């Protein structure tokens, strides 16, 4: 009796895949090409299968759904962002500059996918979707992104209230999610408005963080941290 719930390699480079891992990447590559070319809705699973030289059913053997193909896009952009941010970070020592480096490099890296991203962004917003940035399936990418912000913080000179320090990278990641939300809605050419937003908001964040060391604000900062900690669980 064949396994009813035929679950193939589920993770990007899942543990269990002999050599037909190649077929998987073949499908994924075809999908990303078509997504880029015709957008998400404009790309049919039949077209993906044909471009990858497999049958329709076979595509579904490797990817549980069309949405799952998008996870490949996530992984790709995350890797690209990590590389771009890393080289931008090398040139900056101030906190402000380093945060700007991380945020701005994301906007640059994501630029080619802007139109396509708008079309499938809705899927990411669905709570139960594996594509949600808060989902368990996205944990790896999320952690990697938070780690990037941690590097931005730790490599800098920023003085921050002790209680806040540990949580800061996660809060900055949240800020980045906000930037992404804005970016997706940004119709301006070259996403100039998102660039402007980033450039203006970074010094504000910088000042806000330094403010947390003032007597009147420290307690507030601690409460914010406590709130985030409680709410995250």
Partner DNA sequence: CGTCGTTCTTGAACACGTTCAAGAAAGGTG
Partner DNA sequence: CACCTTTCTTGAACGTGTTCAAGAACGACG
Q: Under the rule (CB under 7 A), what is the footprint of DNA? A: 1-3, 6, 8, 17-18, 20, 23, 43-46, 54-58, 60-61, 64-67
As a whole number of angstroms, the distance between CA 62 and CA 39 comes to 21
Query: Tokens standing for 16?
Result: 């269990």
Residue 7, binding choice from a copy of itself, DNA, none, Cβ under 5 to 8 Å by partner class: none
For DNA, which is the closer residue by CB, 17 or 167? 17
Q: Give the nearest distance from C-beta 5 to DNA in angstroms.
A: 9
Binding partner of residue 134 among DNA, a copy of itself, none, CB cut-off 5 to 8 Å per kind: a copy of itself
Q: Which does 125 bind (CB under 5 to 8 A by kind): DNA, a copy of itself, none?
A: a copy of itself
144 binds a copy of itself (CB under 8 A): no
CB of 111 to DNA, least distance (A): 25
The one of a copy of itself, DNA, none whose footprint includes residue 207, by CB under 5 to 8 A per kind, is a copy of itself
Find the largest Cα–Cα distance for the chain. 69
Give whole-number Cα distances, 86 to 104, 154, 171, in Å. Answer: 12, 13, 20
Place of tokens 């069309």: 66
Q: Token digits for 159? A: 């003085």
Total Cβ atoms within 10 A of residue 28:
23
Distance (Å, whole) CA 212 – CA 199: 21
Alpha-carbon separation of residue 226 from 139, 171, 173 (angstroms): 22, 12, 17
Interatomic CA distance for residues 99 and 106, integer angstroms = 11
Q: Which does 20 bind (CB under 5 to 8 A by kind): DNA, a copy of itself, none?
A: DNA
Site for a copy of itself, rule CB under 8 A: 118-119, 121-129, 132, 134, 182, 184-185, 193, 196-197, 200-201, 204, 207-208, 211, 214, 216-217, 220, 223-224, 227, 230-231
């Amino acid at each position: 009796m064949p396994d009813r719930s035929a679950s193939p390699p589920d993770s990007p480079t899942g543990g269990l895949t002999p050599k037909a891992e190649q077929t998987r990447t073949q499908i994924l590559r075809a999908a990303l090409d078509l997504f880029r070319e015709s957008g998400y809705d404009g790309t049919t699973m039949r077209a993906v299968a044909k471009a990858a030289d497999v049958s329709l059913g076979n595509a579904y053997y490797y990817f549980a759904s069309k949405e799952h193909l998008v996870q490949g896009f996530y992984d790709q952009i995350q890797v690209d962002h990590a590389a771009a941010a890393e080289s931008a970070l090398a040139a900056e020592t101030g906190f402000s500059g380093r945060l700007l480096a991380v945020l701005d490099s994301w906007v640059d890296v994501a630029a080619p996918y802007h139109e396509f991203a708008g079309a499938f962004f809705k899927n990411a917003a669905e709570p139960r979707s594996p594509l949600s940035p808060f989902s368990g399936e996205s944990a790896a990418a999320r952690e990697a992104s938070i780690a990037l912000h941690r590097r931005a913080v730790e490599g800098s000179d920023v003085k921050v209230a002790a209680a806040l320090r540990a949580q800061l990278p996660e809060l900055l990641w949240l800020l980045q999610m906000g930037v992404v939300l804005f970016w997706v809605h940004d119709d301006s050419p070259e996403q100039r408005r998102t660039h402007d937003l980033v450039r203006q908001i970074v010094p504000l964040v910088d000042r806000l963080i330094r403010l947390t060391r003032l007597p009147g604000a420290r307690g507030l900062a601690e409460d914010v941290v406590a709130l985030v900690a409680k709410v995250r669980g």
